[in-house]
Structure 1
Amino acid sequence: MSPNDKEINDAIMLYEKALVHQQSGEIDNAIKCYKDAISKNPNLWQAQNNLANLALYKGEHGEAMYLYEKALELNSENPIIQNNIGNVLIGQKKFQEAKKWFSKSLKKDPNYVEAISNFGLCLAEENKIDEAETYFRKAIKINPSFSNAYNNLAMILKKKEKFYEAVKEYENAIKFNPNFSDAYCNLAISLMDIGKINEAETNFLQALKVDPNNVHTKISYAGFLKTSGKIDQATKLYQSIISENPDIDAELYRNFAHTKTFSREDQDIRRMELIIKKNNLDKHSKTHLCFALGKAYEDLGQIEKSFNYIKEGNAIVRKTYQYDTNDMKKYFNNIIDIFQPDLIDKFRNSGLGEKNHIFILGMPRSGTSLVEQILSSHTKVCGGGEIKYVEDSITEVGKKRQSTYPESVKTFSSADLAEIGSLYLNKTKQFLGSEEFLTNKLPQNFLYLGIIKLIFPKSKIIHCTRDPLDNCISLYKNYFVGHQGYAYDLEELGAYYNLYKKLMKHWHKLFPDGFFEIHYDNLVKDQKDQTLQLLKFCQLDWEENCLAFHKTKRIVNTASSVQIRKPIYKDSLEIAKKYKDLILPLANILKEN
């Protein structure tokens, strides 16, 4: 039965009232008015569409899809509804299906910037970065004030590690939409990338001012507080988020666990235990809870229980990817076979004259973060963090030779090495302000030490070492966001460590005076003497700030972000002893070295 004129007019009034509520952030009132409008006039597709938009905003993907399909029945060729169905599919990570709907929308309206930008989002999720950037720029060209496209373009630039350009585009997004909460949050994260701590916090707070209930922003801000050294504030915010959202992504529990020391009556342990015992718990959640509970029970001194959780978490991760120790042996041996004295002699005079770069390398969890924090406390040093540009630059030049590292090195000319060096310098110049030196503390740069010495013969290379068992167990009990394929099985971890030691021994032979070695235990036991030697090697004058490194304000995005906010403590020495027989497979492998 068709609505009469009065019902049609009443529906329009209710629809307009719903719009006012929606624009004022009164979501529940808006939903009620949209539903009332639909009850008056079931043919009002705009109300169906907007009601679906609110369901999508609340994360109710199934309900949103149902409502969009009802709207589409009323207006089957509408590009707005087609675009919105694509948005639901993006939320469900069905990117191929989403692209089909965006294509339908664009067939009806080729200049529909929302659909153009959303198609770009799908491409970005498929890691088609350059294609995605083209779509975002196209949307901006059609509508120069379309804030979503600027936000999405900035996301791509951030992925390309063009941090300053990303900042500019996030600022454009905010310029055209001053209430764009996600853009403020994203801008804050990019400002963290370039070490602008105060500006980052200002934008996090603005994001929360615009949208106080945005859980994503709260989580990002808690991460900022943790990595910038405001540990107590981070703990309180994590606690608040968990209390308000007990079913939150379990990764939050793991991050939270590393900001606090657990006590025996701690309700957070009980909460995590209840969640991990759920029959339908997914592997992602179980993994993060295992590492969180491992940390909690270690705090309580219940080492075996702690280790069992850590072992379970590692085992879950290990089943998700392929890794072969024999392949890794071939890779390491290939590096050694290629980097021989004749190659070094061939390129001995091919390097660039840059001497202001400091490379801090070694195994992860060997003290690289601590050494960088000490150096970046010096007024002449900028702490760059874990910069991947050595590997990226080698890969970029290697592609021209249709070869990958280390095989590509055999095809390189002096000009190629110069190009790798220039690429690295161009990419890293965005980090330096008034400082003279830039550190790069990506641990696995030890794989590329030979290239680094050839390209930057005057650079400073610091090799961080630690007791092998302590180093490996510290790796094993920490979940790594970046892929460390060797780290989730004790025997594979031990085998990789032995390969690392073999390669470092080779580098020592090739470059006997090429780098400074600092042992974590020595640094902990005699901080001042080791710091003096470190600064002397880097040709830096003594500064007292280097002893009070824990007071230095900077972003540290590593597993050591909490530890380096404290003065050096000896509890981190001989940590493997408490695990004794639990780590025998690891200990036996390491004895082979």
Structure 2
Amino acid sequence: MMQHAQEPELTMEIGNTVAPGRNAPSQAALRAALDAAAAQVETRPDLALAAANEALRAVPGLPPALFVGAQALRRLGRPTEACARLALIPGGLRRPAMVLWEHAQAASAAGRSDEAITVLEALTEAQPGVASGWLLLASELRKAGREEDAWRADLSAVHASSRDPDLLAAATDINDGKLDEAEAKLAARAARLPDDPVGTRMQGEVKWRRGDMTEALRLLERAVALAPGFDLARDFLVRLLMQVNRLPDALVHAEMLAKSPVAGAAADLILSSVLVRLGDQERARTIYERMLAAQPEQPLLWQNLGHVLKTLGEQGGAIEAYRTAVTQQPALGEAWWSLANLKTVKLEAGDIAQMETALAGLEAEAGRDEDVFHLHFSLGKAYEDAGDVARSFEHYDKGNRLRRSLVGYDPDLLAAEAGAAAATFTSAFIAEMGEGGCPAEDPIFIVGLPRSGSTLVEQILSSHSAIEGTMELSEMMVIAARLQSRIDEGEFADFAAMVRSLGPVERLRLGEEYIERTRVHRKTDRRRFTDKMPNNWQHVGLIRLILPNAKIVDARRHPMSCCFSGWKQHFARGQTFTYDLTEIGRYYRDYVRLMAHYDAAAPGAVHRVIYERMVADQEAETRALLAYLGLPFEESCLEFHRNTRAVRTASSEQVRQPIYTDAVEHWKAFAPWLGPLEAALGDVATCYPEVPAELLA
């Protein structure tokens, strides 16, 4: 029997309901016998039934005996007989709550949903604060095809549980950060009420706060299985699934959430977020446009619509959406930055004045850091376009300093991890590991730094008839992080030991996992696809182990140009190394060191595209790139700017134009302020595109 927050109480007196026969036992004896029988219902229902029958022979129609007998019959797998007995208890739908509860469970077990629903509707009307009645009612309504009514019943169950003192106490502990206390309270409650969806969801939240995402997801999935109409739990589940990049699963739950009879704008927004992550920009656009048609005074929605239109290449519509957003909310920093970040748009003097006014108003407010740093980046771009380099750098610098204070990044840790990878993936180690991994030739990894020309390379490749351009995929990083966690948790002493443990079977499984997890991003039948996550340079060795036939393209740009461009670019997420000139210089140097190591350990495994050479002679560089991939040259690759595919990166507008050389040495205008970057790069900058001898050692 399912147990939930509480069960209805039963008060049934033996009294003089039925006149006893001449030789009937006393009321006290009957009460004692039936109390003993009731105590045996769960453990020995056969004995409980025998005692109830004995009481009924002594006092035919005795309600407590009918009730105990019905309880025993249901537990013996005879629910139809249980229903018959319960029907003999007088009072109909006004019988005591426990009788109605038992009748509902018996009718449910007998497959008599209509009867169960009738009884449960009476029970929940009489005791609306008892979650168990609502949950069973929801289950029976679903069996009857009454989905909307079932959803509302689930919501009523959640509402009933929200007043449970045990759950309120646990919620207080969670909010106060007392996770041990909350976990203990919830565990004790789960032992008593294992099928309570609200308690289960709260257990999932505790696990999530502890960083145990696997267990958090399991508990959230169980909570929505117990109560499919538990919208808050499903919303939480969708967000967690997005965090771990289980996007197809997130879509299933987001679409279900959007069907809720009480679904509001929040359900539409989370669905559109999943669709954007999956690359279904058109469907997300439809949702935003529908919502704005109903309520046009929604600056955040206009901003989101602008993001989608930008990705789809509809620059005019994106500009209009962003400008509508800042008109409605002048201090909306992200919308201003999104407008400035359309590299082909120049903000005018009027825009600068509006942003300066908004910034002056924000800097005195607490909790508006995100708007503040977005406005600084936007003003940096606006003054740069206006030719005021000093004021441009001032705003870029302020934006970066504020953003850096809000993110966690350890350059020493990155350097150590890159060093560990270099020390592990020697030519001898690669030979020792031998063959293995998934033989699929589908992926083309484009690695390097952001703003290195990688989007240009991707756009050229995706213009080939055999290659589908996807986006920056996080699947390889998810796999790498999971493997790293095995070291962090003490399973392996170091990186080399962990990698060495990957035998042929596990390498095959990991490679197949990557192929399967990325399948959702593939919208065509082209046999090859790009993964343009730049940070995958850190995982080239792992890629070679688990996907030995995958191709790896290293997009490289002059370090001063690349790093400065990355530093003045605010990224929506990730790339936490870009907000300090010294740190981004160190990052570039660590990248060059590791890639040089791979070049020596596995010559020819990685193909390098030098941005300045691609700009100078696109055809020659494109032919060499396609030759590395084993593909014939196609003229369409030279006309990449005609490609209408969706592009989500900062270069989305630039790659819709023919190659231009304006940005190659743009950094030199800011040279007086770039000393920290130049010092961090050292001879990597002066030797470019060659690698300094020190890094080759």
TM-score (norm 2): 0.65
Q: Which residue number in structure 2 is paired with residue 55 of structure 1?
A: none
Matches within 5 A, 1:98-247: 128-177=212-261, 180-209=264-293, 211-247=295-331
Equivalent pair of 1:325/1:492 in contact (CA under 8 Å): yes
SS for the counterpart of 1:572 is: coil
2:673 and 2:552 mapped to 1: Cα distance?
35
Equivalent pair of 1:365/1:475 in contact (CA under 8 Å): yes
**CA 1:410–1:466: 2 relative to 1, 3 Å:** same
1:137 and 1:578 mapped to 2: Cα distance?
54
Greater shift after overlay, 452-461 or 125-134? 125-134
Aligned counterpart in structure 2 of residue 396 of structure 1, from 482, 495, 512? 482
1:583 aligns with 2:658: no
**CA 1:82–1:294: 2 relative to 1, 3 Å:** farther
Aligned counterpart in structure 2 of residue 450 of structure 1, from 541, 545, 569? 541
1:126 and 1:241 mapped to 2: Cα distance?
37
Matches within 5 A, 1:415-454: 415-433=505-523, 434-454=525-545
SS for the counterpart of 1:79 is: coil
Q: Which residue number in structure 2 is paired with residue 293 of structure 1?
A: 379
**CA 1:229–1:99: 2 relative to 1, 3 Å:** farther
Give how far 1:125 is off.
Answer: 6.7
Equivalent pair of 2:343/2:654 in contact (CA under 8 Å): no
Give how far 1:422 is off.
Answer: 2.6
Give how far 1:405 is off.
Answer: 4.1
Matches within 5 A, 1:347-362: 347-362=433-448
**CA 1:485–1:206: 2 relative to 1, 3 Å:** closer
SS for the counterpart of 2:439 is: coil
2:545 and 2:161 mapped to 1: Cα distance?
62
Q: Which residue number in structure 2 is paired with residue 384 of structure 1?
A: 470
Q: Which amino acid is the alignment partner of residue 182 of structure 1? A: A
Give how far 1:465 is off.
Answer: 1.0
Greater shift after overlay, 162-171 or 149-158? 149-158
Give how far 1:335 is off.
Answer: 2.0
1:259 aligns with 2:346: no
**CA 1:155–1:319: 2 relative to 1, 3 Å:** closer
Q: Which residue number in structure 2 is paired with residue 573 of structure 1?
A: 664
Higher relative contact order (CA 8 A, sep 6+): 1
2:380 and 2:406 mapped to 1: Cα distance?
20
Equivalent pair of 1:146/1:173 in contact (CA under 8 Å): no
1:89-117 deviation line (CA, Å, top 9, x unaligned): 999999999999999x999x998867876
Aligned length: 518
Q: Which residue number in structure 2 is paired with residue 275 of structure 1?
A: 358
Q: Which residue number in structure 1 is paired with residue 618 of structure 2?
A: 527
Equivalent pair of 1:350/1:414 in contact (CA under 8 Å): yes
Say which one has the larger Rg: 2
Q: Which residue number in structure 2 is paired with residue 63 of structure 1?
A: none
1:546 aligns with 2:637: yes
1:408 aligns with 2:491: no
SS for the counterpart of 1:517 is: strand
Q: Which residue number in structure 1 is paired with residue 607 of structure 2?
A: 516
SS for the counterpart of 2:662 is: helix
**CA 1:137–1:586: 2 relative to 1, 3 Å:** closer
2:263 and 2:660 mapped to 1: Cα distance?
45
Matches within 5 A, 1:482-493: 482-493=573-584
Greater shift after overlay, 278-287 or 299-308? 278-287
1:323 and 1:118 mapped to 2: Cα distance?
31
* Sequence identity percentage: 28
**CA 1:509–1:133: 2 relative to 1, 3 Å:** closer
Q: Which residue number in structure 2 is paired with residue 503 of structure 1?
A: 594
1:471 aligns with 2:562: yes
SS for the counterpart of 1:534 is: helix
Give how far 1:126 is off.
Answer: 6.6
User: In angstroms, what is the RMSD of aligned CA positions?
Assistant: 4.0
SS for the counterpart of 1:528 is: helix
1:149 and 1:220 mapped to 2: Cα distance?
25
1:257 and 1:91 mapped to 2: Cα distance?
39
**CA 1:263–1:387: 2 relative to 1, 3 Å:** closer
**CA 1:173–1:96: 2 relative to 1, 3 Å:** farther
